[in-house]
Amino acid sequence: MKHSSENIMSPGKLALAFIICFLSTFFSGIVSMLMSVYLPVVVKDLLGNVAEEQLNDVSAWINCLFIFGWMFGGILWGIICDKTGRSRSVMLSTACFGVFAICTGLSSSWLLVSICRFLTGFGIGGVLVTTTILIAECWSGKKQAIIQGIVSVAMPIGFFAAGIINNITTEWRFAFWVGIAPILLAVAAAIALPESYKWKTEKQSLNKKGASQIFAGDHSKNLLIGSAIFGAMLIGLWAIFSWAPTWVQSISSSADVQDQRGLTMMILAGGGIIGSFFSGWIVNTIGLRKTMLMCFAGCFIMTFVVFKLNHDVTITTFIEMALLVFFFGISQGALAVYIPALFPVNICAAATGFCFNIGRLFTGTVVFFIGTLVTILGGYGNAVFIFSFVFIIGFIVTYFSKEIKPVT
């Protein structure tokens, strides 16, 4: 008779695993967003009075390196996670982004800031993969979907916290000392975070098999499916989150357009939080595949409604935007269950890391060409809508894929 790791692990250890994974994801949200809220101040502080074009180029470079660091981190930490264990990888990746957050605040040039942001992203990419895998293997069945949904709320809450830090202090170097918190959390994880029973039972097999297995046989097909589904949602929502505030400013007739931009960011984060929180119950009610089909269809339809049917910013615009990101939030919890369930334990982290992050190769590259791209596509509204067709690709791939059940 097989026992799930949930049955073997005590309630106390399960609680510790949940708390550490939640907090690690929460702090990763803070650290990832801090540079966004302080970026204009950081670049001017490091470069002084230079041309606006140079400021924009340096800002794009810093953002691009962060995204690429996130991508490489997600992929490489997945491989490390399969080799050395889930709990150790959560601990090390958490310590990584904490250390380099502090180093960012200590940097004396924009080049050093760029390097530190790459390495910060490297740690954050690892955290989002390793915590997902640990949860997938510590909880089974319906409980797993609920726990993944709740933990996926932690990152957007971290985004909010970054905004609060920005309101507390204008000193960007001081703000990045928040990295002390994930370092202390990593120490606690080293002492108390339990290891996945499933990984421990597969350890002997893992030592004989390499990460290259993810490209072999049936795994390669699931790798393509997982990458397409996650990548479609990632790219589509990247466009929305990147361009929505500027789009609001471009069409608004209000004198309080700056407040509307701030409200837009709050709605984008808040709607995602609510969707993520309820995602587990929705997955358990209608299934993973139907949930993802609903999310892709909902995101595409609501993107059209928001960005093509609104010619000024009203209360209705914000309600529609909230519904759009509600579907996005649901998808984040569902994908945290869907992707790991495609692969066996011995390659689960490496394959999940690949699926979660290969789409960032596209988004990281596009950062350099945002201005030109928006001009070519005819404005921010058109740009977002054109990018939203990637949701159709995700819908089609999901429709023709088989039903996936959470890991048991």
Q: Nearest Cα to 366, choosing from 387, 391, 393, 389? A: 387
CA distance 282 to 357: 25
Quick one: 382 exposed, middle or buried, by C-beta within 10 A (0-12, 13-18, 19+)? middle
CA distance 399 to 393: 10
- Per residue in 169-219, pLDDT tens? 889 999 999 999 999 999 999 999 999 888 888 775 555 555 557 776 678
The DSSP result for 180-234, as a single string, is: HHHHHHHHHHHHHPPPPHHHHHHHHHHTT--GGGGGSHHHHHHHHHHHHHHHHHH
- Per residue in 39-91, pLDDT tens? 878 888 888 777 767 777 788 888 889 999 999 999 999 999 999 999 999 99
pLDDT at residue number 253:
85
pTM score of the predicted model? 0.86
CA distance 276 to 271: 9
pLDDT at residue number 289:
92
- 323 Cβ contact partners less than 8 Å away, ≥ 6 residues apart: 271, 298, 302
Which token pair is 248? Answer: 């609001």
CA distance 97 to 24: 10
pLDDT, mean of residues 23-46: 89
Mean pLDDT of the chain: 88
Which token pair is 321? Answer: 């935007």
Q: Is the dihedral of CA 37, 55, 44, 182 positive or negative?
A: positive
pLDDT at residue number 42:
87
Q: How confident is the model at residue 252 (pLDDT cuts 50, 70, 90)?
A: confident
Which token pair is 98? Answer: 């904490």
pLDDT, mean of residues 334-361: 90
Residue 266 has pLDDT above 90, yes or no: no
Q: Cα angle at 262 between 369 and 34, to 5 degrees?
A: 65
